């Protein structure tokens, strides 16, 4: 394993993040505050509790998942797309590094950024509501796995994309709607029976449910299904990345 190469890629990607640290830090703080003003004050005044949890606290896991997923995808996709765009990816491919080391560098940096944003949002939420974490180890595990899996997914999007517009296509038109419809700001038990059944086909439901369980001990689906979903998604992304580097799809040519 060429740890020096991994470190160079990782440090380079993190340096780009720290150059805009103010924006990276202030933006999630402001957006989180706005969510609590809108959802916590406007809707929370009408909904006191959801499954025994105050509504303001209930939306915290969903809010973290929404930001972590989008940030992980955006950072990873841009990180690998930009070398493609300017042509430096060929220097990377000709260097004595294998695909695993390239993936570890880019995906590791994107996951670190997303994890930082998630912790910032958690800290900001604690200023508005009393956030209790019943299972802290499970919470950190779910958060790290989500950062890694969606960074891998973003890495695939960055290789697939052929323009900057396509980089935003899936996060905006696919991931964000799935998060909003996946019980991020409500419990699916509040839906009519037919919509509860339909919602279970949304894979994001299992991630948010498991993450919320780590906070409050309540979940819309069994915790085992949540773990299986995140593990399956990660394995699928790893298999896709392996196939991309093995075939050179959208990289060589």
In a domain, 208, yes or no: yes
In a domain, 253, yes or no: no
In a domain, 252, yes or no: no
pTM of this structure: 0.92
pLDDT tens digit at each of 253 positions of the chain: 788 989 999 999 998 888 877 767 787 778 777 877 777 666 666 777 888 888 888 989 999 998 899 889 999 999 999 988 888 888 888 888 888 899 999 999 999 999 999 998 899 888 888 888 999 999 999 999 999 999 999 999 999 998 888 888 888 889 889 988 988 888 998 889 999 999 999 999 999 999 999 999 999 999 999 999 999 999 999 999 999 988 888 887 5
What is the phi/psi pair of residue 164, to 5°? -65, -30
Structural contact between residues 153 and 73, judged by C-beta atoms closer than 8 angstroms: yes
Structural contact between residues 176 and 66, judged by C-beta atoms closer than 8 angstroms: yes
Provide the number of structural domains found in the chain. 1
Name the residue range of residue 109's domain. Answer: 3-247
CA distance 49 to 207: 22
């Amino acid at each position: 394993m060429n740890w020096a190469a991994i470190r160079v890629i990782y440090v380079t990607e993190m340096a780009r993040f720290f150059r805009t640290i103010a924006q990276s830090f202030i933006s999630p703080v402001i957006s989180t505050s706005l969510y609590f003003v809108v959802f916590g004050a406007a809707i929370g005044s009408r909904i006191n509790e959801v499954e025994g949890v105050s509504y303001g606290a209930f939306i915290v896991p969903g809010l973290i998942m929404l930001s972590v997923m989008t940030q992980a995808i955006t950072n990873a996709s841009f990180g690998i797309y930009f070398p493609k765009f300017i042509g430096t990816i060929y220097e990377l491919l000709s260097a004595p590094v294998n695909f695993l080391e390239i993936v570890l560098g880019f995906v590791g940096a994107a996951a670190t950024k997303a994890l930082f944003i998630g912790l910032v949002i958690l800290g900001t939420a604690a200023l508005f509501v009393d956030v209790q974490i019943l299972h802290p180890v499970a919470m950190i595990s779910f958060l790290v796995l989500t950062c890694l899996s969606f960074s891998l997914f973003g890495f695939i999007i960055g290789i697939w994309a052929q323009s900057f517009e396509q980089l935003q296509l899936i996060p905006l038109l696919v991931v964000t709607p799935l998060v909003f419809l996946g019980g991020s700001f409500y419990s699916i038990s509040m839906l009519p029976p037919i919509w509860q059944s339909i919602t279970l086909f949304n894979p994001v439901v299992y991630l948010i449910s498991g993450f919320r369980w780590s906070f409050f001990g309540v979940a819309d689906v069994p915790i085992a299904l949540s773990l299986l979903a995140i593990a399956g998604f990660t394995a699928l992304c790893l298999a896709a990345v392996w196939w991309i580097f093995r075939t050179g799809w959208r990289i060589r040519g």
